[in-house]
Structure 1
């Protein structure tokens, strides 16, 4: 692990998995985007459709905000609804007065991109594959006044212990934990959402992955009332649409939480099947993987990715993530039938 204060050049921080599926319009099986397949479910589509009758009125987020607060056992003053987690990263970068932000990589690149766009010089802590991409809090600089880490981390699929992440907390430091995929972990083990005892803690959640709402844009921030007020002042008026507010309220209901837990348990079984198949082919898998995706390392990954496209499968290149090179690929977890088809295509695509 090492710390760097390097410019963003050298990694395309704006490259995301959706580019892998729409580059050439090919009809591909999508293992590049980490959105759960078969979503949104019909009952959620119905809730969103019903909300369209109220489009003439300006959005009123009070009910959705209260529902999110209740889901995490927090007062509403600790909740801010956003147009997806991506908006939250922009708000944090623009609204908070920080001098030494640090991003723990490899992880989702949008936090660093947003910080750089806001004029910040961003330090990097690079976790190494040889160490299992595990966090050592002592290697984060003491003068960092904002630290960003994902849990479980995209793209490594590592689930850091909550007790290790909270070692990063300091008076005067903002600790941002991106939990966009935490609801895909059975039991949400190691979650920090709902904690009020960790100084400077800001937790981000996304509702777009598990519920298939990437096109609707809905997420939220959990933080101290002071931080929420600062971020809210940086938002435009009515930042979250009426359909997105309806979806947010529905996705934190008891029914939705049960369904998300069932989906997380199924994904864990499907992930184990995928990992076993990859290892049979001699492919190195980072891990242990705990998210709805896995990170793999193999020689000639660029060639393999092109061959997989020719075989009808899109996967996510890894070289756009700081800390990873061209030998890494990220694979979304899918159902057993899709995984078996992918493994057969991968076997043909591997060198030799």
Structure 2
């Protein structure tokens, strides 16, 4: 597929005006720079984020919330009316919504009574012909981390992409799976600015994967999927080190599944 391409994708250097974009040269009704289209690849944000996450910019995808990455991953890998994804209920409801929107079947392997991955569940995942398995850890809505050894076994045995959703990773003591990206070419990690960063209103989600997978996501995303305002606010938060400091010894998961956070 040939992706949509603008001059901002193709141009190397610094240009204040892109005549092909037909931007309003008289300025904006809002902030001064808002009359220009944003960087479609969000290079400045990715460069700062790469320093914090200890990954390369080519391993980062940014989208309109994690929900955009979920939808794009389903569309990238699944043929409508033919392929399926695999989910582990109870879990985040958007995986199922994205599958239904794209006419993709859903395989379900419920977690154990204590919301964990058993040997039987892992074996079922590995034997599945699904194109994606969504592994939410810490899980939403149960709040617990899934066993890392079980996730590693899935990564080594499952034939499709393993999507580890870490929206709540900043509230957990375990290291992020972004530290294992080099080991697993089929690994995709989802994170968000909505939770510990306290920026849910920005609608900015992150996906981390191999440069090849990120390249495919960039190929099929809308041209300007992250606004200039969102990029500016994200840069300001990254510069300020805006993530909440979490006191792991005293924070606990409430019965409802939502985290109690200690601000320091």
TM bucket, shorter chain: 0.7 to 0.9
For 1:122, what is the secondary structure of its paired residue? strand
Q: Is the 8 A contact 2:163 2:188 kept in 1?
A: yes
Taking the TM superposition and a 5 Å limit, the aligned residue runs for 1:91-110 are 91-97=72-78, 99-110=83-94
The correspondence for 1:174, drawn from 132, 152, 161, is: 161
- Is residue 265 of structure 1 aligned with residue 251 of structure 2? no
Give the aligned partner of residue 122 of structure 1. 106
For 1:193, what is the secondary structure of its paired residue? helix
Give the aligned partner of residue 35 of structure 2. 56
Give the aligned partner of residue 69 of structure 2. 88
The correspondence for 1:138, drawn from 123, 126, 133, is: 123
- Is residue 164 of structure 1 aligned with residue 131 of structure 2? no
**How far does the alpha carbon of each residue in 1:182-214 deviate from its partner, in whole angstroms, 9 at most, with x for none?**
11224xx14102422113000011011112222
Give the aligned partner of residue 348 of structure 1. none
CA 1:122–1:205 in 2, change beyond 3 Å: closer, same or farther?
same
Deviation, 1:57, is 1.8
Give the aligned partner of residue 95 of structure 2. 111
Q: 2:187, 2:162 → 1: CA distance?
A: 5
Taking the TM superposition and a 5 Å limit, the aligned residue runs for 1:209-228 are 209-228=195-214
Normalised TM-score (structure 2): 0.75
Structure 2 unaligned blocks of 5 or more: 1-29
Give the aligned partner of residue 333 of structure 1. 260
CA RMSD of aligned residues (A): 2.5
Taking the TM superposition and a 5 Å limit, the aligned residue runs for 1:232-271 are 232-253=218-239, 255-256=241-242, 259-260=243-244, 262=245, 264-265=246-247, 269-271=250-252
Q: Is the 8 A contact 1:52 1:243 kept in 2?
A: no
Q: 2:236, 2:150 → 1: CA distance?
A: 32
Deviation, 1:68, is 1.9
Q: RCO (CA 8 Å, sep 6+): is it higher in 1 or 2? A: 1
CA 1:183–1:90 in 2, change beyond 3 Å: closer, same or farther?
same
For 2:66, what is the secondary structure of its paired residue? helix
Deviation, 1:234, is 1.9
For 2:36, what is the secondary structure of its paired residue? coil
Q: 1:81, 1:211 → 2: CA distance?
A: 15
| Number of corresponding residues | 223
Q: 1:85, 1:151 → 2: CA distance?
A: 14
CA 1:172–1:139 in 2, change beyond 3 Å: closer, same or farther?
closer
Give the aligned partner of residue 177 of structure 2. 192
Q: Is the 8 A contact 2:138 2:145 kept in 1?
A: yes
- Is residue 77 of structure 1 aligned with residue 64 of structure 2? no
- Is residue 155 of structure 1 aligned with residue 152 of structure 2? no
Give the aligned partner of residue 68 of structure 1. 49
Taking the TM superposition and a 5 Å limit, the aligned residue runs for 1:27-46 are none
Q: Is the 8 A contact 1:183 1:210 kept in 2?
A: yes
Structure 1 unaligned blocks of 5 or more: 1-50, 272-292, 297-328, 337-352
Q: Is the 8 A contact 1:162 1:191 kept in 2?
A: no
For 2:207, what is the secondary structure of its paired residue? strand
